[in-house]
């Protein structure tokens, strides 16, 4: 366990000092009480932790302390990890730039002119900067892989359902997946393995009996069948250096004895539109609970209803999405938008299933551009572009990882994405290990 070992040589106080002296704003809260530097890990501010504040980077929950541990936290404690604190993120995990956090933005480790990406931007920054060895993230539409790529680290989104979502705040329930960001590949696989457990509190959770993400990690790649999403590389807006790096990656695999097969799922060109119809709708339903009575703050001394007061604690981005999402599922439109989108989602799933009868894994870029410039104006348009290659794995529920591969001429990190069939995380780690 490379990085965990390195960090265990430091005292807990030394690690805390590193975090406190850094200007990157990657943490929302820190636990001063643990005093153990063994297997130090940070968690995204989205997993409920008993007697500890969990805010989802929202004013709405800025005073919320959980009365129980999420399954993620339970598993980490059970396996002897020291949870050092909660990392910054986009508010309620909605965003691709970490600029919507109530606690302020996080910049990329590469340059202050660029954002860390999102929504797990704090986790990505803290790991890439070497403040901590490993952090958790959640990936609903790329929120682990995109910031991992932008900061030059590993970001694994496992199979949907592998890790229980119990106690992890819901954004869009049929997409939300918990995963890991790290500098070391072995650490990454190890934590995924420790988090995967059967949990009756999450009905979508399932772990096959023989699941072991490390089982083929040192086997090399000879004989593997590798698919390449050629059409994605030809799309407008894909940076030349990213295209080049992805092709070199595939070439390297070919030279090492892999069979390369060109594949295509044309319907993935609608991924972003499907994501809006489905994920925003689910989000609007999930975030209903923040009404100032069941959950969320409401200042009853203020004029207006409790509900109105509560809702004013949401940031602009969240409000906008809840309005769009509600529109998508109101009784007049539910079939046109949500129903239709589910059908297309199924067609895309069928296509991927078919492809996985002929290939072991798929290679694609993680993001189309070398970075996202900080600043309000860039936010939406660039962010939408930036998610188009990561969303398909969420639509289908398959595991996908971004691995750091090269740097651009200017020194920006370039990530390559490896996808595999459900519960074939071991193939992703096997390929990544070989290419490391
Ligand atoms: N960037 C996407 C969004 O804005 C994905 C978020 C996520 O994966 N949590 O919704």
The helix/strand/coil state of 365 is: strand
Ligand 1 centroid to Cα of residue 57, in Å, is: 14
Residue ranges in the chain modelled with pLDDT below 70: 1, 376-383
Helix 425-435 with 240-255: angle, nearest 10 deg: 100
The reported pLDDT for the residue numbered 247 is 98
The DSSP symbol for 92 reads G
Local structure of 343: helix, strand or coil: helix
Compute, in degrees rounded to 10, the torsion defined by CA atoms 99, 105, 111, 117. Answer: -40
Distance 339 CA to ligand 1 centre (A): 21
Contacts of residue 74, defined as CB under 8 A and 6 or more positions apart, other chains included, come to none
**Cβ(338)–Cβ(328) below 8 Å:** yes
Atom of ligand 1 nearest to the CA of 142: 8
Displacement of CA 179 from its chain's centroid (Å):
7
233 Cβ contact list (under 8 Å, min separation 6): 243, 246, 247, 364, 365
Q: Which atom of ligand 1 is nearest to the CA of 275?
A: 10
Q: Quote the CA–CA distance of 206 and 322 in Å, as a whole number.
A: 30
Burial of residue 412 (CB within 10 Å: 0-12, 13-18, 19+) is buried
pLDDT at 145: 98
> How do residues 237-290 score in pLDDT, each as one tens digit?
899 999 999 999 999 999 999 999 999 999 999 999 999 999 999 999 999 999
Choose one of 95, 318, 379 to mutate for the ligand 1 pocket test, by most ligand atoms within 8 angstroms of C-beta: 95
Number of C-beta neighbours around residue 113 at 10 A: 12
Cβ partners under 8 Å of residue 12, min gap 6: 34, 35, 36, 37, 40, 82, 84
In terms of DSSP H, where are the helices of 221-339?
230-234, 240-255, 271-275, 281-286, 306-311, 316-329
Query: 99 C-alpha vs ligand 1 centroid, how far in Å?
Result: 12
pTM of the shown model: 0.97
Which atom number of ligand 1 is nearest to the Cα of residue 175? 8
- Residue 246 burial by CB count (10 A; 0-12/13-18/19+): exposed, middle or buried? buried
Closest CA to 422 of 388, 391, 399, 394: 399
Closest residue by Cα to atom 10, ligand 1, is 94
pLDDT of residue 203: 96
Ligand 1 pocket, CB under 6 A: 93-96, 119, 138-143, 171, 387
Taking every pair of Cα atoms in the chain, the longest distance, rounded to a whole number of angstroms, is: 70
Count other Cβ atoms within 10 Å, centred on residue 242: 25
- How far apart CA 327 and CA 365 sit, in angstroms, is 33
The residues that are catalytic are 44, 119, 143
Residue whose structure tokens are 């901590």: 132
Task: Point out which residues pair with 356 in neighbouring strands.
Answer: none
What is the best residue among 44, 387, 390, 395 to mutate for testing ligand 1's pocket, by most ligand atoms within 8 Å of CB? 387
The per-residue pLDDT for 180 is 99
Confidence (pLDDT) at 1: 59
141 sits in which H/E element? none
The confidence score (pLDDT) of residue 385 equals: 77
**Of all protein residues, whose CA lies closest to atom 4 belonging to ligand 1?**
95
Question: Residues 197-234: pLDDT tens digits?
Answer: 999 999 999 999 999 999 999 999 999 999 999 999 99
């Amino acid at each position: 366990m490379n990085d965990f070992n390195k960090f265990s040589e430091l005292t807990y106080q030394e690690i805390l000092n590193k975090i406190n002296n850094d200007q990157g704003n990657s943490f929302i809260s820190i636990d001063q009480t643990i005093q153990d530097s063994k297997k130090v890990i940070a968690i995204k501010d989205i997993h409920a932790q008993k007697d500890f504040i969990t805010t989802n980077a929202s004013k709405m929950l800025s005073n919320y302390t959980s009365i129980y541990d999420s399954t993620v936290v339970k598993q980490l404690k059970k396996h002897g990890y020291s949870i050092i604190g909660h990392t910054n993120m986009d508010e309620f995990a909605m965003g691709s730039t970490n600029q919507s956090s109530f606690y302020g933005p996080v910049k990329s480790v590469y340059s202050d002119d660029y954002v860390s990406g999102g929504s797990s931007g704090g986790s990505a920054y803290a790991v890439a900067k070497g403040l901590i060895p490993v952090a958790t993230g959640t990936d609903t539409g790329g929120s682990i892989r995109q910031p991992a790529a932008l900061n030059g680290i590993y970001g694994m989104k496992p199979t949907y359902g592998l890790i229980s979502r119990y106690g992890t705040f819901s954004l869009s329930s049929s997409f939300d997946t918990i995963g890991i960001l790290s500098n070391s590949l072995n650490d990454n696989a190890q934590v995924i393995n420790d988090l995967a457990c059967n949990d009756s509190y999450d009905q979508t959770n399932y772990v096959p009996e023989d699941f072991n993400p490390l089982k083929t990690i040192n086997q090399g790649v000879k004989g593997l069948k590798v698919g390449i999403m050629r059409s994605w590389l030809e799309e407008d807006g894909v940076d030349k250096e990213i295209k080049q790096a992805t092709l070199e990656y595939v070439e390297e695999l070919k030279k090492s004895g892999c069979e390369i097969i060109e594949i295509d799922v044309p319907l993935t060109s609608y991924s972003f539109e499907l994501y809006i119809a489905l994920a925003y709708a689910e989000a609007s339903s999930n975030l209903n609970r923040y009404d100032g009575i069941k959950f969320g703050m409401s200042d009853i001394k203020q004029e207006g209803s409790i509900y109105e007061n509560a809702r004013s604690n949401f940031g602009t981005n969240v409000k906008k999405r809840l309005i769009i999402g509600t529109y998508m599922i109101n009784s007049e439109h539910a079939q046109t938008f949500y129903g239709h989108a589910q059908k297309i989602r199924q067609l895309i799933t069928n296509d991927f299933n078919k492809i996985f009868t002929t290939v072991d894994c798929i290679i694609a870029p993680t993001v189309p551009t070398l970075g996202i410039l900080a600043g309000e104006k860039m936010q939406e348009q660039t962010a939408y572009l930036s998610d188009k290659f990561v969303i398909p794995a969420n639509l289908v529920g398959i595991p996908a990882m971004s691995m750091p591969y090269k740097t651009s001429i200017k020194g920006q990190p370039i990530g390559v994405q490896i996808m595999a069939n459900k519960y074939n995380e071991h193939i992703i780690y096997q390929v990544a290990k070989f290419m490391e």
